[in-house]
Amino acid sequence: MSDRRWPKAIGLVLAAGLLLTACGGSNKSAGGTKKYVVGISNTLTGNGFREEMICSIKAQAKASGVVSKVIVANRNTDPSGQIADMRNLISAGVNVIVVNPSDRSALDAVIKEASDKGIVVVTVDQGVTSTQAYQLYNNQVKYAVLGADWLFKQLGGKGNVVEMRGINGVSADADRHTGFTQTLANYPGIKVVKMTFTNWSLDPAAQQIKDILGSGLKVDGIWTSGIDSTVVDGYVTAKKPFVPVIGADNNAFIGQLANLKTQGLAGAAVTNPPTVGGAGLALGLDVLQGKTEPHLVNLDPVIWDNQSSTGLSELQNHYDSKLDAYYSVSYQVAPWTTYTKEQLLACADV
């Protein structure tokens, strides 16, 4: 997960009373096709990754042709609040809940409540310990390994690096830190001189890189958990020579890697599509329709760097000057998502 802001907010915060009075349950269209009600549980607002995730769920719901309504519980809250939101979705009569979990194990009981009522629960972006949930998320350990290994090799196995993490305590951040430290163990000449938590938000990251650059700390490379273009912007503002930077597949960073190489920027983007949301819904709808699907689908990320001809070509091909700076360039999650790019960008309610 990372912060990718869109020009307008797309989240709809539903109060408990609204959820309790919503019409739920599957029904049939005029043509006799069974229709399903979809619930979404998200606990971080103002974050572009999460907004795009929700849009991909709406787009996949529309593209599927078997969804009658999408109910979105979208607010900043903790695991207790998410449990309450999920119980409200259960009461609303949803058939499937797509949830970005706020904790690895705290939701297990409410996932069981939903599953016992025949509701399919699919967790996306991050993992949980529940054996009843279906899980579809990016391999976050490998995300970190790919980027850290590239960075450490770029530095020749020696130097000072900064690790800019996400949100302390959530599973995606923990998994990425695990991958980072596992890779670090293979490079005894690399020293982590600073570690920060950006909360996957632009303002904290901008202040952190400003402080680092103003401190005089010797830094040879920066690994980020997706707050990447902000780091590059910090170097530009401070008029400091670039150091190699690792980030994710958001449009701004992709453009920087593709266009600033001639100014000395070396870096690489690791894919981490927020459209796992739509993929998770596709999996859940398959289960509702009687198809056998695995309980765990781990998506393997890939890395695009601007130092190889192949990587630079990927960056140039994926960059889209018409897209918002913090929009992910990874529109689809094959073979799960079936919406069009237009449907994703429209982010229309169902």
| Closest among 339, 330, 343, 333 to 49, alpha carbons compared | 330
- For residue 28, the model assigns a pLDDT of 60
- For residue 230, the model assigns a pLDDT of 96
Where do the CATH 3.40.50.2300 domains begin and end in the chain? 16-138+273-300+330-346, 140-270
H helical segments located in 189-322: 202-215, 229-238, 251-259, 276-288, 309-318
Backbone angles phi, psi at 279, to 5 degrees: -65, -40
Tokens of 225: 């958990």
- For residue 100, the model assigns a pLDDT of 96
- For residue 185, the model assigns a pLDDT of 98
Residue 244: cis peptide before it, omega within 30 degrees of 0: no
**Residues ≥6 apart with Cβ < 8 Å to 28:** 34, 35
CATH number given to 16-138+273-300+330-346: 3.40.50.2300
- For residue 33, the model assigns a pLDDT of 72
To the nearest 10°, report the CA torsion of 170, 176, 181, 182: 120
- For residue 19, the model assigns a pLDDT of 39
Give whole-number Cα distances, 217 to 158, 187, 241, in Å.
16, 21, 14
Single pTM value for the model? 0.86
What distance in Å separates the CA atoms of residue 325 and residue 341, rounded to the nearest whole number?
16
| Closest among 212, 144, 201 to 178, alpha carbons compared | 144
- For residue 26, the model assigns a pLDDT of 54
Residues of the chain scoring pLDDT < 50: 4-24, 30
| Closest among 302, 306, 326 to 315, alpha carbons compared | 306
Rg (C-alpha) for the chain, rounded Å, is: 20
Q: Can you name the CATH fold of 140-270?
A: Rossmann fold (3.40.50)
Tokens of 223: 């690994």
